[in-house]
Amino acid sequence: MNAVLIIDKPRGLTSHDVVNRVRRILREKSVGHLGTLDPLATGVLPLVIGNLTRLAQFYTASEKIYEGTIRFGFSTDTYDAEGEPTSPARAVSFSLEQVRELATRFQGSIEQIPPPFSAKKIQGVPAYKLARKHVEISLKPVQVEIKEFEITQVNAHAGLDAPVRAAEQSSSGSVASFRARVASGTYMRSVAHDMGQLLGCGAHLESLRRTAVGEFDLADAHTLEELEEACKTGQTEDLFIHPRKLLPQFPSVTANEEMAAHIRTGRPVNLPELSQARLVKVFTGQRELIAIATRVAGTLFHAKIVLAGAATPRLANNDDRT
């Protein structure tokens, strides 16, 4: 089984929990994900299955879109609602204009210190393992890019899990709803924490929903329950992403039998119509993605990775926590 499947991750499960569930449902050992979602977060979790785990290398820099809420008034050790408070709770209220003005300071390329409870490694050990043992850690700032950061409303109610009716909305409060489009490696938990520090009242990420990763969005996503039902009725393939939709930034070519044989055996092929491309998707028929080829000289292309007729490698998950 070679496929890409988008799961709408429920709150409370780790990304690895979802991977394990899908392995059991599909009875397929080779399953990995394309970017970690914390247990608090929900939404788009792309999974690669079988030989398509080899595509993970092309998604390490994928752009991501989030919706969420930030609660002002106290900070936590994890920078989100699942952590322990690290400051006394305060009754605060900010206007939409105040929070929007503050948000402009987080747009563009900025330096950000990752949360102590994160997958960032310190001398080879993930920071969260040290933080759980109450070991004092010091993480270095990293360069991240926040391409869009829009505060959509401010009120006194929770955002994503308990939507506010129009009649209940106010122009001030302690909870800000947002939408963000960010480069890979950006921690929205750190954004929430840092906003609270600047306001002097503390803050944490109250809820988070990932609505898109690269070319995948919520319209492509399915629940674990939908996957289980599809397996029972033999309609699993209907849930998979069509291979032609993958990696839209790369042009594609449909190979004849001779070209496919060359690609599979590591021999170069001539693709004059794609002489300007660096990487090319190679298909046989409409659905079988057999390789990603790279240009080696002029119009000659050589398989960078072979996806059909090759052994499945062990996948190293792309830990990109929020």
Sole residue written with tokens 């109250």: 206
Is 38 part of the annotated catalytic residue set? yes
* Catalytic residue chosen out of the listed positions 8, 38, 80, 220: 38
Distances (CA, A) of 310 to 109, 136, 286: 40, 46, 20
Angle at 88 between CA 83 and CA 91, to 5 degrees: 105
Closest Cα to residue 45, out of 180, 234, 207, 208?
Answer: 208
Is residue 207 within 8 A of residue 192, CB to CB? The reply is no
Q: Cα–Cα–Cα angle for 94, 39, 53, nearest 5°?
A: 125
Give the integer Cα–Cα distance in Å for 296 and 318: 28
Active site residues: 38
